Homo-oligomer: A and B are copies of this chain.
Amino acid sequence: MEGKLYVLGMGPGDPELMTIKALGFLKKADIIMAIKTDKEKESKVRPIVSYHLEGFEEKYYEYLMPTKGRCQNFIDCFMELGRNIYKNIKKGNKVAFLIPGDPLIFSIYSYLVDIIEDEFGKLPTEVVPGVISLSEAASIFKMPLAMEKERVGIIHSPSHLDDLPSLLQSFDTLALLEVQISLEKIKERLKELELLEKAFIYLYSQERNQYRPIKKEEETVEIEPGDKISVIIKD
């Protein structure tokens, strides 16, 4: 019997925001794999697994993935992970590969699937979609992102905000996820662009799996290491 790869979207962090389908496959998996970056103590998805599955450690493997620079190393890690998945599937195992959020939007699975296919060809695979973090943030702040017939732009880890005015000519809502600029610079730049009033700024703390809105008039905001700043602009 041949095994299968289950790529499971685990949602934004709250274990109850997994889908029923993903949980079903997680429970039936022979092997569970997740990725941890060198900036993290443990994988983002480990608390979700431990919430749902007692005694998961025996079949749970966490792969270390370097976050920046050393691209050769990055590919080596993916190759090792890919080989491991391939071998386990050929042995007839059900392998669950866990992805925070959704597996096909801004996820590391996109790289992995290319590397596996180049090396081993297509593997029998099922991908289970997940709730994206933007949806959870919106639900916590009860903030409609867009009405029907509108346009939403999602920009991942931007390093500047310069083209916002031109983008807002084409989009009703722009979500800037994990902005790579300090909070002071973000507020300053939004003010210069006359967009501060239309902006909603929030922090996400992975440590506490918590979203926190930033009051724009606040002079000092306590930001902990690992907190991520996102901005939603509604025109």
Contacts and interface: CB of A to CB of B under 8 A. Distances in A.
A9 B156 contact: no
A148 B153 contact: no
A113 B19 CA distance: 26
Tallying the copies of this chain within the complex gives 2
A62 B65 CA distance: 49
A20 B16 contact: yes
Q: Which of the four size classes fits the interface of chain A?
A: 35 or more
A14 B23 contact: no
Interface in A123-141: 125, 127-132, 135-136, 138-140
Contact of A153 (B19, B104, B147, B153): B153
B153 A139 contact: no
A166 to B, nearest CB: 8
Contacts of A9: 131, 135, 139
Interface string A149-176: 1111111110000010011001100000
A61 to B, nearest CB: 22
Contact of A152 (B14, B103, B153): B153
Given A113-B144, A135-B130, A20 B23 contact: yes
A196 to B, nearest CB: 22
Nearest to A170: B167
Given A19-B16, A129-B17, A149 B157 contact: yes
Contacts of A11: 19
A136 B11 CA distance: 13
A120 interface: no
A223 to B, nearest CB: 21
Contact of A139 (B127, B138, B143, B154): B127
Interface string A70-109: 0000000000000000000000000000000011111111
Contacts of A193: none
Given A17-B128, A127-B138, 5 more contacts: A16-B19, A17-B20, A113-B144, A130-B135, A151-B156
